[in-house]
Chain A
Amino acid sequence: DTGVSQNPRHKITKRGQNVTFRCDPISEHNRLYWYRQTLGQGPEFLTYFQNEAQLEKSRLLSDRFSAERPKGSFSTLEIQRTEQGDSAMYLCASSVSETQRNEQFFGPGTRLTVL
């Protein structure tokens, strides 16, 4: 399967703990995005990478959140000192670089539950 993959698929943690999610984009895509989706809402943009450079961050990305893409391939999203309000589905998407079409292909998501 050559789609976007995300791990883990589910994560349950206690408030105050740190969590890290991983995203592996489609191999030829050099653009990578993170979104967050809460129940009954559409996905909301968090941050965007082109290769290893983080080019855009939403104001939703508080200082407890950090994202990296060290070698321009996979990306990690870390949440420190989790809060119950962080409970959501975290989605990763990737898109090709050679065109301007901006079609983003999504992974299955990581569902985070903070107890």
Chain B
Amino acid sequence: AQKVTQAQTEISVVEKEDVTLDCVYETRDTTYYLFWYKQPPSGELVFLIRRNSFDEQNEISGRYSWNFQKSTSSFNFTITASQVVDSAVYFCALSGYQAGTALIFGKGTTLSVSS
């Protein structure tokens, strides 16, 4: 069975702090995709990144970076120099490798950034 665990329910930081959101997954598939989505207070899920299982290269996009470690089944997300606008619920998700497969989401981590 596929499962995604986001152990951190809520995180509070002060602006400009770095913050890492943890994600651990379980799957029996040898190839799969991992995702991060952001859900701001407005409610709409915003796609942030997709990573396939055979590419363990870390990725950086502006203040965002992702660390994928297949050996520990983790796909962690770091926000550098956090801003108030980063306040949202962040979801990690897992899917099979074929298009059209369902996304399996974790329960999300609520990030609150105060000024």
Using CB atoms and an 8 Å cutoff, list the residues of chain A in contact with chain B.
31, 33, 35, 40-45, 48, 50, 55-56, 58, 89, 91, 93, 95-97, 99-109, 111
Query: Could you list some 23 contacts between A and B, CB below 8 A?
Result: A41-B108, A42-B108, A43-B91, A43-B105, A45-B103, A89-B43, A91-B45, A93-B45, A95-B99, A95-B100, A99-B99, A100-B98, A101-B99, A102-B50, A102-B97, A102-B100, A103-B50, A104-B103, A106-B45, A107-B44, A108-B42, A108-B43, A109-B43
Is B107 a contact partner of A42 (Cβ separation < 8 A)?
yes
Give the shortest distance, in Å, between A1 (CB) and chain B (any CB).
12
Q: How far is the CA of A57 from the CA of B85 in the complex (A)?
A: 36
The interface residues of chain A lying within 8 Å CB-to-CB of B46 are 106
5 pairs of A and B residues whose beta carbons are closest in the complex:
A42-B105, A45-B102, A106-B45, A108-B44, A100-B99
Give the shortest distance, in Å, between A3 (CB) and chain B (any CB).
8
Interface residue B115 (Cβ < 8 Å from any Cβ of A): no
Query: Nearest chain-A residue to B42 (Cβ)?
Result: A108
The interface residues of chain B lying within 8 Å CB-to-CB of A105 are 47
Query: Could you list 13 further interchain pairs (A-B, Cβ under 8 angstroms) beyond the known A42-B93, A103-B35, A109-B43?
Result: A31-B100, A43-B103, A45-B103, A45-B104, A48-B102, A56-B100, A93-B45, A100-B99, A102-B33, A102-B50, A102-B95, A106-B47, A109-B44
Q: How far is the CA of A58 from the CA of B102 in the complex (A)?
A: 9
Query: Nearest chain-B residue to A4 (Cβ)?
Result: B44
The interface residues of chain B lying within 8 Å CB-to-CB of A56 are 100, 102
Interface residue B72 (Cβ < 8 Å from any Cβ of A): no
Q: How far is the CA of A40 from the CA of B91 in the complex (A)?
A: 11
Is A102 a contact partner of B99 (Cβ separation < 8 A)?
yes
Most chain B Cβ neighbours within 10 Å, of A45, A58, A99? A45
